[in-house]
Amino acid sequence: MNIGSDDRVGKEAVALARQVIESYVRGNAPDADIPSDFNTLAGAFVTLHTHPDRQLRGCVGIPEPVMSLGDAIIRAAVSACQDPRFPPLRLDEVDGVVVEVSILTPPQRILAEGPADIIRSIVIGRDGLIIEKHGQRGLLLPQVPVEWGWDPEQYLENLCRKAGLRPDDWKDAELYSFESIIFTETEPRGDVEMVRK
């Protein structure tokens, strides 16, 4: 499955996530029709935004390729409905949210010689980041620093905060980068577009 060039995959991924969300908020089992080619191992995130103001309403995912893409989307969609940062998604909200699915490449360890080399290796808008230190872990998707206007050092500092670490702990932590292909509805139940390749 070549997710980088297949709009059909994006439409099916978003349709699957929405089907699961709508089933789940009605109190039904998150049952859905999984496309036959979604058995490839891949990480995925499901993000919910309010429409039209695009406020974050939930974002949860499976960063590692430890299950099939279909199962990762289903689990992420259910979890996004109950993101602990927000009240559980209600049935009367479903018509007012936009569903976005990010399909992730496998994380790769960043091997760099010193903090300056780490900063140089990060490309804003391309790289998602994962940090691990002292048993704590944090992840930020590639679109986050773009949305906030962060440079690479600010990105790393906020990644540390997400993990509950000190802002400069990135300098001697385990860091991983990944890329994601993002598909989103243009409006609730609307057309699906690829945000970036």
CATH code, domain carrying 48: 3.30.700.20
pLDDT band at 196 (very low <50, low <70, confident <90, very high): low
Q: Which of 4-8, 14-18, 84-88 is the least confident region?
A: 4-8
> Are residues 88 and 76 located together in one domain of the fold?
yes
With respect to residue 118, please indicate whether it lies within any of the assigned structural domains.
yes
Based on its alpha-carbon atoms, the radius of gyration of the chain, rounded to whole angstroms, reads: 17
> Are residues 174 and 185 located together in one domain of the fold?
no
Give CA torsion, residues 77, 83, 86, 90, to 10 deg: 40
Q: How far apart are CA 13 and CA 185, in angstroms?
A: 11
3-state helix, strand and coil shares in percent for the chain, rounded to the nearest 5: 35, 25, 40
- Comparing 2 with 91, the larger pLDDT belongs to 91
> Are residues 13 and 94 located together in one domain of the fold?
yes
> Are residues 95 and 188 located together in one domain of the fold?
yes
Sign of CA dihedral 78, 83, 87, 93: negative
Tokens of 84: 């602990």
CA angle 186, 47, 34 (to 5 degrees): 85
Q: How far apart are CA 147 and CA 132, in angstroms?
A: 23
With respect to residue 1, please indicate whether it lies within any of the assigned structural domains.
no
| Closest among 11, 5, 68, 66 to 37, alpha carbons compared | 68
> What is the mean pLDDT of the segment spanning 21-49?
90
> Are residues 43 and 96 located together in one domain of the fold?
yes
Range of the domain at 151: 108-178
> Are residues 67 and 13 located together in one domain of the fold?
yes
Order of strands across the sheet that contains 192-196: 56-62, 43-50, 97-104, 180-185, 192-196
pLDDT at residue 30, as a whole number:
75
Average pLDDT, the chain: 93
* CATH number for position 136: 3.30.1490.150
With respect to residue 2, please indicate whether it lies within any of the assigned structural domains.
no
pLDDT tens-digit series, residues 43-63:
999 999 999 999 999 999 999
With respect to residue 27, please indicate whether it lies within any of the assigned structural domains.
yes
> Are residues 130 and 174 located together in one domain of the fold?
yes
Q: What total of structural domains would you count in the chain?
A: 2
pLDDT tens-digit series, residues 126-162:
999 999 999 999 999 998 999 899 999 999 999 999 9
How many percent of the chain have pLDDT more than 70?
A: 96
